[in-house]
Amino acid sequence: MIFQAIIKSIAAGEAEESMILTKQALAQGFSAESVLEKGLIAGMDRVAEKFRDQRVMVPEVLMATRAMHAGLSLIEPCLKESGKKTTGKIVMGTVAGDLHDIGLSLVKMMIMSTGAEIINLGVDVTPKKFASVVRKEKPHILMMSALLTTTMTVMKEVIDELEVLGLRKNLIVIVGGAPVDSGFAKRIGADYYFEDAFELKSFIEENLSKMIAKKSR
């Protein structure tokens, strides 16, 4: 099965192989979303699981990420074409001090098909930068990611900054990342925490239009 081959190529960190297999899967008629979900994300999930169990090291995770991005480069244009048009806007980024974009990239790919406009600020984003972009872009949702326990606290700093500047009202704040859980999200004043990108995508598909309607009142 082509999806199993894609999973293996990512687990092995074979970027060229991942790209070739992704191209084959699309040529065979599989949808971009199914290739993303059953191939690329499934492959990355396997690596993430091994990393959590300390069965692979950081260099191997980086190789796998590179292989995943190779496949994503072919998937992204297809997702953009199939995306539903909405006026929803999402700002996302990894907090200051954290240079990991694995989860961020996956989430971006997953929610692209919802039709929302996505503004990805990348990694190492300061509270002031988040607040500045929220003020300028007036998004419906702000998503923050952290992969390190040492950078989790920055999420609270971002929310505090938004409060001080009067930008928190009518803004949905979603947090995620390996060390984050629902209890932490509640403590810092975030609205939602999702364990994986699939849950998040479902939530956005079901609620984005409601958020747009509420904000336009």
Vertex 65 angle, CA 54 and 208, to 5°: 105
What pLDDT score was predicted for residue 81? 64
Task: Delimit the CATH 3.40.50.280 region(s) of the chain.
Answer: 89-215
| Residue 134 · residue 90 · CB < 8 Å | no
Q: Which two tokens stand for residue 30?
A: 């599989």
Task: Delimit the CATH 1.10.1240.10 region(s) of the chain.
Answer: 2-82
**Topology at the third CATH level for domain 89-215:** Rossmann fold (3.40.50)
What pLDDT score was predicted for residue 23? 96
pLDDT per position as a tens digit, 63-90: 888 898 899 889 888 876 665 555 689 9
**Residue 114 CB-half CA count within 13 A:** 25
Residue 137's pLDDT band, with cuts at 50, 70 and 90, is very high
Q: Does 161 have pLDDT greater than 80? A: yes
What pLDDT score was predicted for residue 147? 87
Residue 216's pLDDT band, with cuts at 50, 70 and 90, is low
How many whole angstroms separate alpha carbon 97 and alpha carbon 78?
A: 33
How many whole angstroms separate alpha carbon 53 and alpha carbon 71?
A: 25
- Looking at residues 53-64, what average pLDDT do you find? 82
**Topology at the third CATH level for domain 2-82:** 1.10.1240
- Looking at residues 104-129, what average pLDDT do you find? 86
What pLDDT score was predicted for residue 171? 95
What pLDDT score was predicted for residue 139? 95
How many whole angstroms separate alpha carbon 107 and alpha carbon 196?
A: 8
